[in-house]
């Protein structure tokens, strides 16, 4: 069974409770791009033990103005290129390397956005992530058919406002699913 031509860009994948890949256990992954070549997403609910202020210090960007939330955690964005940083944000701005997504959101991978954040000139709402999740052509569609993921529409409250630890359950509740009631067991007649 294959899915019809469905584009999951600007949607969130919700890991099923029996997700076999521990890196994605209880995750919500925002899909940045999905096309015939595959898909790219950012996990939005797995904080690392690294704060934004510590990251800025490590990459030698002095904070010229105090951050609104210096202890804001940097997130595990996925297992691919785990040393690469990405900023998911609203407000396009004039950054060197940004991908504009639906809904007025962007992902920027250039250092200049972190420089602007350290100067108090960056976007108001943003997430900083290290790494990303990637799927080859047809791989995400196969995982959907195999019931590895649920899908829900993305919204700014889920992406930027909700506490990280509530995002997995809240994303499922957006589509009327209580994850505590799901099981990976398949019935046999």
Tell me: the pLDDT tens digits for 158-178?
999 999 999 999 999 999 998
Q: What is the pLDDT of residues 119-146, one digit of tens each?
A: 888 898 999 999 999 999 999 999 999 9
CA distance 33 to 86: 14
Confidence of residue 59 (pLDDT cuts 50, 70, 90): confident
Q: Give 32: exposed, middle or buried? Use CB within 10 Å, 0-12, 13-18, 19+.
A: buried
The tokens describing 30, both together, are 């925002």
Domains identified in the chain and CATH numbers: 11-174 (3.40.1740.10)
State the pLDDT at residue 186. Answer: 47
Query: Model's pTM, two decimal places?
Result: 0.90
Decide the pairing of beta strands 73-76 and 126-136. parallel
Q: Pick from 149, 146, 142, 144: which is nearest to 179 by CA? A: 149
pLDDT at position 91, please?
Answer: 81
């Amino acid at each position: 069974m294959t899915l019809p031509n469905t584009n999951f860009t600007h949607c969130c994948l919700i890991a099923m409770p029996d997700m076999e890949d521990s890196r994605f256990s209880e995750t919500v992954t925002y899909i940045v791009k999905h096309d015939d070549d595959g898909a790219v997403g950012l996990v939005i609910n797995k904080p690392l033990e690294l704060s934004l202020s510590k990251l800025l210090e490590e990459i030698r960007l002095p904070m010229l103005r105090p951050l609104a939330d210096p202890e804001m955690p940097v997130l595990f964005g996925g297992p691919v290129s785990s040393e690469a940083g990405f900023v998911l944000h609203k407000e396009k701005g004039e950054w060197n390397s940004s991908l504009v997504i639906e809904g007025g959101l962007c992902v920027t991978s250039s250092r200049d956005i972190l420089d602007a954040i350290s100067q108090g000139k960056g976007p108001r709402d943003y997430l900083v992530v290290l790494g990303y999740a990637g799927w080859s052509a047809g791989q995400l569609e196969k995982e959907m058919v195999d019931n590895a993921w649920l899908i829900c529409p993305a919204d700014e409250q889920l992406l930027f406002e909700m506490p990280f630890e509530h995002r997995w359950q809240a994303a499922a509740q957006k589509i009327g699913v209580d994850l505590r009631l799901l099981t990976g067991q398949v019935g046999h007649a």
